Structure 1
Amino acid sequence: MKRDFKDFKKFIVGKEVGVVGIGVSNIPLINFLLTLGASVTAFDKKNEEELGEVADEFNNKGVKLELGESYLDKLSGFDVIFKTPSMRIDSESLVKAKNEGAYITSEMEEFVRYTKGKVYGITGSDGKTTTTTIISKLLQEQGYKTWVGGNIGTPLFSQIENINDGDRVVLELSSFQLMTMTQEIDVAICTNLTPNHLDMHKDMQEYIDAKKNIFLFQSSEGLLIVNRENEITHEFVKEARGTVKEFSSKREILDGAHYKDGMLYVEGKEICEKDDILIKGMHNVENYLAAFIATKDDVSVETMKKVAEAFTGVEHRCELVREIDGVKYYNDSIASSPTRTLAGLKAFDEKVIIIAGGYDKHIPFEPLAYEGYPYIKELILLGATKNKIKEVFDKLEKERGLKINIKIAESLEEAVNIAKRIAKKGDIVTLSPACASFDMYPNFMVRGNKFKEIVKNL
């Protein structure tokens, strides 16, 4: 049962509140808590100089700042602590604060607890941003006032009083946001699950358990959408508390959504042809199947068809940057795991020159080599994982005699220049790293924009 936001307003007045992380989602949160009458201390590893105007603004508003390398040393004596999503709940600082009696929460947990709108929550290892965007487009096209947040869109907690009962809320939720989630999500969608973020999670089971929180707190009226062709998500059916609908690109599911002979179906009804969908690749067919079955009670078949024929895709996802001398350059910087890169490679009709490598999330690269080799013409590697990826392709050659030409680059500029040198008319070059960006760039968007800038300057 959703709580009335008036309860939170009464609760927070005069409380000593710590907010860990002064990032994109927490800046509006801090300002909102101030307007609600809380006394706020903000914590961040950055110093005042690095925070710049943000630090000046908070100093002027009376926010106490705890900054620098030892910023968590003073996380003590608080009534409430809002943690940043990537901070583990079992971190020493939070355990100590909890033992002192602090209520530990996050912006997303409090938002889901109190929002009036119907909530669609989307998670998964791959495809969640595109699926989230498709669902939001479907609801907007149908005429609902639609709010998009979580990993994408805008921070929503500070806007909670503007969201009404008839509105629709679409949230992309990461495993970090879900680790501590105990709130009911009306419609939960899990696109798929494969090894990911094993640098942050203790093991694969902890990652899966975090994802399960998207549906474990649903009531009997909740709806869970899962991928029938993913072994892990198919097992979720046994633990669901509400209605479950599955989608599949490989088998008929008459009470769910499926693809067959070039057509997408929802509960046996034809929706649209695969060739009418603007964004290519079977992974996008699956994203549409998930979005269609999730929104079937709110959205007409006509709306579904219209969106599929009009939506051109999300930036940094198999995004065509430009064509030079007959060579097409694509930005797929969102592909931060081997399975996401594989999906991108399969979207093309020919072998591609791929630029890959980056931050090490401690996930295996064997799928990239052993499943990806038929789609790769040349491989250009860079970043912290370049040698790790090369070793897997070397192993493939040794075991099966399948050789992929590999070149090593020390920077993204060098990688693009190598690609330009080796590409012939008709070739495709794609930045599809199979890794996160943190070894070289703050996030995949900065990496993708840098790639686009380099390509546009060729």
Structure 2
Amino acid sequence: MALKKSSGPKESSAALHQRRIALLGLGVENRALARFLHARQIPFAVCDARDPAIPVEGVQQWRIGDHYLDDLTDFDLLFRTPGLPTLDPRLCAARRCGVEVSSQTRLFLQLCPAPVIGITGTKGKGTTTALLHALLATDSTARVFSGGNIGRPPLEFLDELQPTDRVVLELSSFQLQDLDQSPHIAVVLSVTEDHLDYHADRAEYVAAKKPVCCYQTPGDILIVNRDCPTARAFVDESPAALWTFSTTAPSIPGAWLADGQLWACCPGTQPTAVCPAEDIPLRGRHNWSNVTAAVAGALAFGAPATHFAEAIRSFAGLPHRLECVAERDGVTYYNDSLATTVDATCAALRAFDTPLLLIVGGASKGADFSALGTAIAEANVRAVLLIGQEAPRIAAAVQQAGAGEIVHCCRDLAQALDTARHLAQTGDVVLLSPACASFDQFASYAERGDLFKRLVRTVGVV
């Protein structure tokens, strides 16, 4: 299958020498961008609320303090860190004055010499990206590189890329908003709602994801989750060739589950059985959907399915995604710290038939917890251990759903785990699936999950 680069306006690194550039914020992505610019001797300024804890080379000008975003018109090109809302009034004011607002992701797509597949959705992006990389790696005819929201800024490997390579990018709504071109292949997983502390509302959140495909051409490929109405609506945004994936119905071309088998089919070919569904090592139907998405993406990128079954069977998943930590005395402990939305935690609950002791709560993302309360009341949950800022609102939702008697309010994660350990019986599962962000008590979801794993082992669960 012939592949092409993403279409859209192109930038050259040489042209950047003529621009007055500022990096807004020094997170992981803009630090990579700073290294990229410094290596090419391109001058730039840094604007941030705080002095950097780690030195940054090549900075020509610093603007530090609470007013670092005020009056940005002395620059003509701003690179926004993903955590800075693109609709911030000060950025909007700069745009009205003719200042261009960009991002590392946008610059990468402009400079990348290889075809790109971009993956977005509310949850499952990291798992799908990692598995898609593993599937593409079974094809020895092309190298594969992965980056984006999964953790590695793609500018870090830009200089290594050749036109024959394949690039897989996990793209969040934050990273998509500045784009004026789309990847050659776009994958849209289930889209619900998230980051309502950042986006104005659900509609703005969904709109922020549409650049993954809305700048595609008829020569591109769009792969959508046919089981999700919001994902299916992305078809209206793109003229690209349509592929789908599903856990409920045949998807041709694409990938799907039926009759206990994982199936795949390219345009104009007969469906092929990839492997039995029972060979998929990831827990939960939502992960089956991620597997079908990855298989469809790998096929669309031209990889043969010959060794897909082996790659799927050996895929261990990613940390903090329904990660089995340990078992002791018949009780199993799972770390699902990346479940920072109601939908993610509801999916985790559906992944278990065994009795659950659920540790839930954390920092607010503006979520409505009524669906979570109902899911807890309907699932086989023996106890709910509440932690963090959102504990009272989650408790109210569980109470409203008629399951208030199983709620235990805990001081912190350590107390919640200790309470769960004493309540658990043989055959139970203790599940950390917070449905909330981590920033009230932790620096990140990873720090929260890592502490959970350490605490599990500290109490003798090995």
TM range (shorter): over 0.9
RMSD: 2.0
> Secondary structure at 1:250's aligned position in 2?
coil
Query: How many Å separate the matches in 2 of 1:313 and 1:7?
Result: 36
Conservation of the 8 A alpha-carbon contact between 1:151 and 1:174: yes
1:385 to 378, 386, 390: 390
After superposition, where does 1:191-230 map in structure 2 within 5 Å? 191-230=189-228
Query: How many Å separate the matches in 1 of 2:165 and 2:420?
Result: 47
> Secondary structure at 1:213's aligned position in 2?
helix
What is the aligned partner in structure 2 of residue 233 from structure 1? 231
What is the aligned partner in structure 1 of residue 99 from structure 2? 102
> Which amino acid is the alignment partner of residue 389 of structure 1?
I
> Which amino acid is the alignment partner of residue 438 of structure 2?
S
2:148 to 106, 128, 150: 150
Structure 1 gap ranges (5+): none
After superposition, where does 1:113-128 map in structure 2 within 5 Å? 113-128=110-125
What is the aligned partner in structure 1 of residue 72 from structure 2? 75
Whether 2:182 is the aligned partner of 1:184: answer: yes
Distance 1:300 1:6, change over 3 A: closer
Query: How many Å separate the matches in 2 of 1:39 and 1:320?
Result: 47
Query: How many Å separate the matches in 1 of 2:59 and 2:179?
Result: 31
Distance 1:253 1:16, change over 3 A: closer
Query: How many Å separate the matches in 1 of 2:283 and 2:180?
Result: 36
Conservation of the 8 A alpha-carbon contact between 1:125 and 1:193: yes
1:45 to 49, 63, 66: 49
Query: How many Å separate the matches in 1 of 2:391 and 2:107?
Result: 40
> Secondary structure at 2:256's aligned position in 1?
strand
User: Shift in Å at residue 111 of structure 1?
Assistant: 0.4
> Which amino acid is the alignment partner of residue 290 of structure 2?
N
Between 107-116 and 371-380, report the one with greater CA deviation.
371-380
> Secondary structure at 1:25's aligned position in 2?
helix
What is the aligned partner in structure 2 of residue 334 from structure 1? 338
Distance 1:440 1:25, change over 3 A: same
User: Shift in Å at residue 75 of structure 1?
Assistant: 3.2
What is the aligned partner in structure 1 of residue 268 from structure 2? none
What is the aligned partner in structure 2 of residue 312 from structure 1? 316
Whether 2:25 is the aligned partner of 1:21: answer: yes
What is the aligned partner in structure 2 of residue 432 from structure 1? 433
> Which amino acid is the alignment partner of residue 426 of structure 1?
G
> Secondary structure at 1:436's aligned position in 2?
coil
Number of residue pairs matched by the alignment: 447
What is the aligned partner in structure 2 of residue 258 from structure 1? 256
Distance 1:150 1:98, change over 3 A: same
1:134 to 131, 135, 154: 131
What is the aligned partner in structure 2 of residue 450 from structure 1? 451
What is the aligned partner in structure 2 of residue 321 from structure 1? 325
Query: How many Å separate the matches in 1 of 2:322 and 2:111?
Result: 36
For residues 304-325 of structure 1, what are the alpha-carbon distances to aligned partners after superposition, in whole Å with 9 as ceiling and x for unaligned?
Answer: 1111110011011111112233
What is the aligned partner in structure 1 of residue 160 from structure 2? 162
Between 250-259 and 421-430, report the one with greater CA deviation.
250-259
1:366 to 363, 370, 373: 370
> Secondary structure at 1:379's aligned position in 2?
strand
> Secondary structure at 1:13's aligned position in 2?
helix
Query: How many Å separate the matches in 2 of 1:149 and 1:391?
Result: 40
Query: How many Å separate the matches in 1 of 2:252 and 2:210?
Result: 25
User: Shift in Å at residue 162 of structure 1?
Assistant: 1.7
Query: How many Å separate the matches in 1 of 2:450 and 2:60?
Result: 34
- Any runs of at least 4 consecutive aligned residues in structure 1 with deviations exceeding 6 A, and if so which? 3-6
User: Shift in Å at residue 2 of structure 1?
Assistant: 5.4
Query: How many Å separate the matches in 1 of 2:376 and 2:123?
Result: 16
Whether 2:279 is the aligned partner of 1:282: answer: no
User: Which TM-score applies when normalising by structure 1?
Assistant: 0.93
User: Shift in Å at residue 73 of structure 1?
Assistant: 3.1
What is the aligned partner in structure 1 of residue 353 from structure 2? 349
Distance 1:403 1:261, change over 3 A: farther
Query: How many Å separate the matches in 2 of 1:198 and 1:444?
Result: 17
For residues 328-352 of structure 1, what are the alpha-carbon distances to aligned partners after superposition, in whole Å with 9 as ceiling and x for unaligned?
Answer: 1111001011111122222223121
User: Shift in Å at residue 74 of structure 1?
Assistant: 5.8
Conservation of the 8 A alpha-carbon contact between 1:113 and 1:184: no
2:83 to 86, 91, 99: 86
For residues 405-453 of structure 1, what are the alpha-carbon distances to aligned partners after superposition, in whole Å with 9 as ceiling and x for unaligned?
Answer: 0101111111111111111222110110011111111211111111111
User: Shift in Å at residue 14 of structure 1?
Assistant: 4.9
Query: How many Å separate the matches in 1 of 2:11 and 2:108?
Result: 13
Distance 1:12 1:238, change over 3 A: closer
Query: How many Å separate the matches in 1 of 2:6 and 2:126?
Result: 26
User: Shift in Å at residue 275 of structure 1?
Assistant: 0.9
Between 385-394 and 76-85, report the one with greater CA deviation.
76-85
Conservation of the 8 A alpha-carbon contact between 1:419 and 1:429: yes
User: Which TM-score applies when normalising by structure 2?
Assistant: 0.92
> Secondary structure at 1:371's aligned position in 2?
helix
User: Shift in Å at residue 371 of structure 1?
Assistant: 2.8
For residues 390-416 of structure 1, what are the alpha-carbon distances to aligned partners after superposition, in whole Å with 9 as ceiling and x for unaligned?
Answer: 11111111xxxx555010111111111
> Which amino acid is the alignment partner of residue 400 of structure 2?
K
Query: How many Å separate the matches in 2 of 1:202 and 1:117?
Result: 35
Whether 2:423 is the aligned partner of 1:422: answer: yes
What is the aligned partner in structure 2 of residue 272 from structure 1? 275
Query: How many Å separate the matches in 1 of 2:387 and 2:8?
Result: 51
Query: How many Å separate the matches in 1 of 2:61 and 2:252?
Result: 57
User: Shift in Å at residue 101 of structure 1?
Assistant: 3.1
Query: How many Å separate the matches in 2 of 1:370 and 1:62?
Result: 52
Distance 1:76 1:453, change over 3 A: farther
Conservation of the 8 A alpha-carbon contact between 1:330 and 1:430: yes
Query: How many Å separate the matches in 2 of 1:180 and 1:151?
Result: 15
Query: How many Å separate the matches in 1 of 2:10 and 2:99?
Result: 21
Conservation of the 8 A alpha-carbon contact between 1:178 and 1:211: yes
Query: How many Å separate the matches in 1 of 2:380 and 2:193?
Result: 21
